[in-house]
Amino acid sequence: MQPSIRPYLRTGPGYVYAARTTAADKKGEEGRIARLASNENPFPPSTAAVSAGVAALATVNRYPDNRMTDLIEALKRFHGDHTFVVGNGMDGIIEAVLRCFVEKGDRVVVSTPTFSFYGIAAAGQGAIVENVQRKDDFTVDIPAFTRACTGARVAFLCTPNNPTGTMTTPAEVREVLDGIGDCMLFLDNAYVDFAGDDYRPLMDDYQNLIVGRTMSKIFGLAGLRVGYAFIPAWLEPFYQKAATPFSGISSVSAAAAVAALADHEHQERTLRHVLEWREQVRSAVRFPVLPSEANFLMIDVAPHTADEVVATLAGHGVLIRSCRSFPGLGDHYVRVSIGDAWENERFIEEINRL
């Protein structure tokens, strides 16, 4: 007899990954594939991070430090004295946070269209997921979102938002926090390293705020799966009980992350490159491009469909992301990451040829 699977896994696609290279293998200029579908850092990681990871491999017969002391200390040197937790990507932290707060049947609110994993992880915890639609310009309808959060257990708000690039200002986030009672707000700051606003000061004033960050983007460590979050101090002991042992982070990932945090030159190089090319790509593309403060742009390709455009570009060795799988976006938006210079140039050439 085959044991029965939980209903939430019988419907929907689950997490939809960006197109992989297979569709476009051996295409493109000189056989090179422009990988602009996953908002990764186009540059190799910091050489200091690579060396630290390699050195840590020699001691992997031992379990990692369960307190992740070196990484937590490195985060404090980088950001100042806050309470941090680390996880197997920010995704791992999202799961542990939901385990802290959500019982079956509790409400979890998501400001949408956005990153799909919030809803998937919340459903996995037995939550009833309520999506609150953003406005036509993809800014958050603050009163509607705040109303929905009231009485909910956890709410997710992404700024800069994936895939739209939209910012919600710290003042607007304060407005939400002031209006949602004891609902926990998870503010996803995966792309904040590329944006102008700083949300860290909010941690001083609210006991119901978690700010999630990742080392997958500006730090270039996507393959190592390192995320971290600012959490209120009262939550820390409970979070540790809910989390995967050893925070779900390998000693190799932790060592590399410590070195990456200290390599400011590497971070600044990526930031300069992204800011410069974000503007260049935006102004060169002949379709409407949404304002973005992240390392990607969302583009309205109507009258083409997103899937058609993604397939056409993949055929020419340029991988971008269709936004059709983001609920509420329709099928005429694509998302393109800011890549290496040649990748951006290839993208501009191909999209303008449509």
Ligand X SMILES: *Cc1c(COP(=O)(O)O)cnc(C)c1O
**Residues contributing to the site for ligand X (CB under 6 A):** 39, 89-91, 115, 158, 162, 188, 190, 214, 216, 222, 227
Shortest Cβ 352–ligand X spacing (Å): 26
Question: Biggest alpha carbon distance in the chain?
Answer: 59
Closer residue to ligand X (CB): 191 or 350: 191
Return the residue nearest ligand X (CB atom): 89
Closer residue to ligand X (CB): 15 or 234: 15
Closer residue to ligand X (CB): 15 or 63: 15
Shortest Cβ 16–ligand X spacing (Å): 13
DSSP string, 250-277: -HHHHHHHHHHHH-HHHHHHHHHHHHHH
Shortest Cβ 87–ligand X spacing (Å): 8
Both tokens of residue 245? 């042992």
Shortest Cβ 334–ligand X spacing (Å): 16
The C-alpha atoms of residue 172 and residue 170 are separated, in whole angstroms, by: 5
Those residues with Cβ within 8 angstroms of residue 214's Cβ, 6 or more apart along the chain or in another chain: 89, 90, 190, 226, 227, 228
DSSP alpha helices (H): ranges in the chain? Answer: 47-57, 69-79, 89-101, 117-124, 142-149, 170-179, 236-242, 251-262, 264-284, 306-315, 341-351
Closer residue to ligand X (CB): 28 or 87: 87
Shortest Cβ 96–ligand X spacing (Å): 12
Closer residue to ligand X (CB): 37 or 148: 37
Closer residue to ligand X (CB): 294 or 348: 294
CB atoms within 10 A of CB 116: 20
Shortest Cβ 315–ligand X spacing (Å): 26
Q: φ, ψ for residue 107 (rounded to 5)?
A: -90, 135
Shortest Cβ 70–ligand X spacing (Å): 19
Shortest Cβ 337–ligand X spacing (Å): 10
The reply to whether omega before 160 is within 30° of 0 (cis) is: yes
Closer residue to ligand X (CB): 88 or 251: 88
The number of angstroms, rounded, from the C-alpha of 300 to the middle of its chain's C-alpha atoms is: 21
Structural contact between residues 148 and 115, judged by C-beta atoms closer than 8 angstroms: no
The C-alpha atoms of residue 184 and residue 208 are separated, in whole angstroms, by: 5
Closer residue to ligand X (CB): 158 or 334: 158
Amino acid, res. 210 = I
* Selection from 340, 307, 319, 334 nearest residue 165 by Cα: 334
Amino acid, res. 113 = P
